[in-house]
Chains A and B, each alone.
Chain A
Amino acid sequence: SAVISQKPSRDICQRGTSLTIQCQVDSQVTMMFWYRQQPGQSLTLIATANQGSEATYESGFVIDKFPISRPNLTFSTLTVSNMSPEDSSIYLCSVQGQGREYFGPGTRLTVL
């Protein structure tokens, strides 16, 4: 199994600012995944972060809005840039192992 931590756990931000979310895993993993979960909705994959290369973004998500870093095999960051109220969501990172997915506790973001 994998233990994942995220920082911050929650934040309230002003429109137009940026927030960087950190994700730390207790073991080395090849890929990390970033999801968004809007209120009352399911999980939507934002991008897949592979160590040593650029992240792969899903349709509807772009690097300028959600830049991702993956400096090593246990850590990744997701930045939500130029935020608007529509970005208010829970942001989750995850890793996969043994045929299943392990999630962090999430970062609850509220944009005013």
Chain B
Amino acid sequence: DAGVIQSPRHEVTEMGQEVTLRCKPISGHDYLFWYRQTMMRGLELLIYFNNNVPIDDSGMPEDRFSAKMPNASFSTLKIQPSEPRDSAVYFCASSLLSLISYEQYFGPGTRLTVT
């Protein structure tokens, strides 16, 4: 079975440009998470969805960040305009919530560099 798919794997852009990151969760999973990881701050949860509905976006750093999940198999994270401090690895993860299990599976990540 295919795991979580993310694209692009690497993105280099100039400050001020719009960046769109894409994620396809594991089929059948009902939760989707966007994380950002840096050496300084570790793994941070940005936003997560349940059945395509945003549940908690309190981790989104600024209004420059937005995320959508138009259907169960696709989500985007957009940064507009991008800034050098947005440089990080962005991970998408998905899970299927059962009675006790919250197992999350991560995609390979998108390494974003903003110059």
Are A and B co-members of a single complex?
Answer: no
